[in-house]
Amino acid sequence: MKKLVVAGCSVSDWTQVDKAWGEYVAKHLGLEYMHLAAGCGSNYRMWRLLTTHIRNGTITSDDTVLVQYTTLERTEFWSALIERHWHIPNAHLRDSYTEGSIIKFKAGSHEWHSGIERKFMKMYERFIGIEFEHEKFINNHIAFQCLAKEYNIHNLYFVKVGKYGYNGEDVHPTISKYKDNFLNYNDIFDNKKWHLKGDPFHLSATGHTILADRVIKVIESK
């Protein structure tokens, strides 16, 4: 069965809602839903998971892929700490991985860790340069498009919800194959009535359905 794949951060995840916007889109289009979004997830997490699934054939040219990028300072690190040692409050900050785990990092997240992990992440924050992170984002973004093109991923969309970029400038370099597949929905994210109450960073259930409707219209128009 053809799939709809959504990679993203908590904006595309089940953050205090029963269904994420990608599920509504998949159901409407009659597609199987593959959820690769996660709270605190980075763009590197999205590229890593999507690349792995594309290379091993889990995601094919028949599928529709939507990538919801997040803020640039986020990244991920491997840790020897494995699942049975996780502290329950911090479980959402890790992905399982061979002989260890992958820590999802964002600014300030060192406070949620302890020991050597906390020390390492606190030190790492001192070496984040936004201009450099922007350059890395551009290069990785272009490389991912090239990989998708090589594997004939025709239905690839980049979903813009919220702010990211260098000095407030949003840049979406694209190869010609995907030039019309950038979907900017900042108007939804900037409208506070579609946010969770008291939460300026996450969409409410209504916000998810509104975003889903907008995405559906674009996909059906192709």
Predicted confidence (pLDDT) per residue in 88-121, tens digit = 445 568 888 888 888 889 888 888 777 888 888 8
106 and 18 in a common domain: no
169 and 59 in a common domain: yes
123 and 26 in a common domain: no
Res 91: pLDDT? 59
Edge-to-edge strand list for the sheet holding 32-37: 32-37, 3-8, 64-68, 155-160, 182-184
* Sign of the four-CA dihedral 98, 137, 157, 178: negative
156 and 52 in a common domain: yes
Least confident of 21-30, 80-89, 107-116, 154-163: 80-89
Res 99: pLDDT? 81
Boundary (domain end) residue, out of 127, 142, 164:
127
114 and 59 in a common domain: no
Structural domain boundaries, residue 197: 3-73+130-221
66 and 103 in a common domain: no
Distances (CA, A) of 79 to 10, 34, 73, 82, 95: 22, 26, 19, 8, 10
Structurally, the chain folds into a number of domains equal to 2
137 and 103 in a common domain: no
> For the segment 132-161, what is each residue's pLDDT rounded down to a tens digit?
888 899 899 999 999 999 999 999 999 988
Taking the C-alpha atoms of 91, 31, 174 and 132 in order, what is their torsion angle to the nearest 10 degrees? 0
146 and 59 in a common domain: yes
Boundary (domain end) residue, out of 60, 93, 127:
127
178 and 111 in a common domain: no
As beta bridge partners, residue 182 has 158
Res 55: pLDDT? 98
Residue 168 pLDDT grade (very low, low, confident, very high; cuts 50, 70, 90): low
> For the segment 35-79, what is each residue's pLDDT rounded down to a tens digit?
999 988 999 999 999 999 999 999 999 999 999 999 888 999 998
End-to-end CA distance of the chain: 20
Boundary (domain end) residue, out of 93, 127, 161:
127
Q: How many CA atoms lie within 13 A of 114 on its CB side?
A: 5
Res 145: pLDDT? 96
Res 200: pLDDT? 82
Res 86: pLDDT? 47
The answer to whether 148 touches 142, Cβ cutoff 8 Å, is no
Taking the model in full, what pTM does it have?
0.90
- Report the alpha-carbon distance of residue 117 to residue 80 in Å, rounded: 10
> For the segment 198-214, what is each residue's pLDDT rounded down to a tens digit?
888 899 999 999 999 99
64 and 88 in a common domain: no
49 and 97 in a common domain: no
CATH code of the domain containing 165: 3.40.50.1110
Res 164: pLDDT? 59
200 and 138 in a common domain: yes
Calculate the CA 167 to chain-centre distance: 21
